[in-house]
Chain A
Amino acid sequence: MVTENKESKFKWGMAVDIDKCTGCQACVLACQSENNIPINTEKNFKNARAIEWIRVERYWEGEFPDVKAKFIPILCQHCDNAPCEPVCPVYATYHTTEGLNVQVYNRCVGTRYCANGCPYLVRFFNYWEPEWPESLKNHLNPDVTVRSRGIMEKCTMCIQRIRRTTRNAKKNDEELKDGDISPACVDACPTDALVFGNQKDENSKVSRMKNDKRSYTLLDNNLQTSPNIFYLAKIDHDKKESTHHEEGKHH
């Protein structure tokens, strides 16, 4: 659990503008290939064993023919007050100084307590040894560990990209600018619904979106998890008051 870390210049966060999300699943696919996630077959979905570090949830509103669809991309909320962290008996999941909740795969012994503790269902257990077709084996990302059987895994906000970009900035003696770092899902989003950045920078895009009047966090009021993913409510033009409405109650 982390309240405020004064050491680091960074506190990473993400903002998701639901009004812009078209539910195209590009983020899901990008994440899958960036992070060496094995291919989810139909069987895996049926057994509820699919691994998707980011998934797009779909909600219908209204009765046919007057229906509206709404898409909410759900990924690890990187909670400041993460329910998954205190339950781990071996400290395999912990908070970095930059505000990320990460999983140390080689430390993990597979108790699955963390996944049971997570209200957002964004931790995934490897029930099998991951497998890829022969043609895809050379496509694995060398910067990301391949998780073996018996290990919990989750969204890392593409820590390999964060580290690489900060390292390269240091190498070239440059300052990191807002927007330099982007996780795979943010990169792939065709409508820019996902935005990643440093919350400690007042002027970063994510800070501004976080302070937007449409902004809310998932399940925060009930569970006090204080997530670092901020959702911007959908704007409904048919309704008069288009600000903060029912959003938070969908779960």
Chain B
Amino acid sequence: MFNKFIEFLKEKDRNTPTWLKILIPFLAFGGLAFHAIMAFITAFLITAWFGNPLPVFGFNQSPDQPIAFPHTIHAGVGKLIVPKTGKPYKDIYGNERVNDSGEPLTGLGMDCTYCHKTVTKEAWAGVPPVELCISCHKVIGSNESQELTKLREFGLSEKTKGPIKWKRVHRMPDHVRFVHEPHIRYLTSNPKAIQNKSTDFKILDNGTVEASQVCTTCHGQIAEMEKVTQKEPLKMGQCVACHRANEASIGCETCHH
């Protein structure tokens, strides 16, 4: 069979050496594969340059946290149902999020600043200490939940007590200085500059908005995220574009020193 095939190749075109005839299909497929890989790498680099890299090879900007903390339950508003099916949300283990009577959970609509306390005062927003979680979760939530068991180990059990080592999601490179306070101050009093407004966005009577409403500009709809992901690229272009539009300083020393 294979010999016949070789014979056939030899007959077909006598000028081309046989080994080359055999090699050609391999070269062709190799070339295709090579081009496919190159195209993939180029696409990866281009997206990484203009925004966030494609979510492959662990570049998905949402690391697994020690406790799968859902912003939906705490900061979201309304019933936690999937709009298409009307069924309750599923947590990362595939269990439906229902309360004790089997109804879909409703988001607590907590203010972002209840947990991220320093965001209106300091450069950093901060993540709450485990004591704050425990103030509610000492009693709230079933004992069967794996995540809450882990949380209580961090907060209550004498042996394993200690801070939770959350993983950073948003991280500026080392040569960039970012400060939350002036942004929250400016955006709360200038609601026009807020981007990606949430559905429950509303302006108060005195023309300002609550601090919780401005975070969407740079973080996307955190309140609707089971797991925090970086939605905005937060590259220099985005920062400077907004600084230009709002007459904030754009000298390099503002962000790099």
Contacts and interface: CB of A to CB of B under 8 A. Distances in A.
Given A145-B257, A167-B182, A102 B174 contact: no
Contacts, number: 45
A94 interface: yes
Interface in A150-192: 156, 159-160, 163, 167, 170-171
Chain B interface mostly: loop
Contacts of B254: 163
A56 B185 CA distance: 42
B175 A106 contact: yes
Contact of B253 (A102, A144, A170): A102
A82 interface: no
Contacts of B123: 143
B257 A170 contact: no
A159 B253 contact: yes
B179 A167 contact: yes
Interface in A63-110: 94, 96-97, 100, 102, 104-107
A145 B256 contact: yes
Given A159-B257, A167-B182, A171-B181, A104 B252 contact: yes
A1 interface: no
Contact of A104 (B174, B185, B256): B256
A117 to B, nearest CB: 20
A172 to B, nearest CB: 11
Interface in B153-187: 173-175, 177, 179, 181-182, 185
Given A167-B179, A167-B181, A100 B253 contact: yes
A146 interface: yes
A145 B185 CA distance: 25
B243 to A, nearest CB: 14
Given A145-B174, A167-B181, A96 B251 contact: yes
B185 A160 contact: no
Which 8 pairs show the lowest CB-CB distances between chains A and B?
A: A106-B175, A104-B252, A102-B253, A159-B257, A145-B175, A104-B256, A96-B251, A96-B253
Interface residues of B, number: 16
Nearest to B120: A171
Nearest to A151: B175
A119 B179 CA distance: 36
Contact of A170 (B173, B175, B177, B182): B182
Given A94-B252, A156-B253, A167-B182, 5 more contacts: A107-B252, A107-B256, A143-B123, A160-B177, A163-B253
Interface in B21-52: none
Interface string B114-151: 00000001010000000000000000000000000000
B254 to A, nearest CB: 8
Given A145-B175, A167-B179, A102 B257 contact: yes
Interface string A118-149: 00000000000000000000000001111000
B179 A146 contact: no
Contact of B251 (A97, A107, A143, A167): A97
A94 B254 CA distance: 13
Nearest to A168: B181
Given A106-B175, A167-B179, A171-B181, A160 B257 contact: yes
Contacts of B251: 96-97
A106 to B, nearest CB: 4
Contact of B177 (A94, A96, A143, A146): A143
Contacts of B175: 105-106, 145
A109 to B, nearest CB: 14
A41 to B, nearest CB: 24
10 contacts: A104-B253, A105-B175, A106-B175, A107-B252, A143-B257, A145-B257, A160-B177, A160-B257, A163-B253, A170-B182
Interface string B221-257: 0000000000000000000000000000001111011
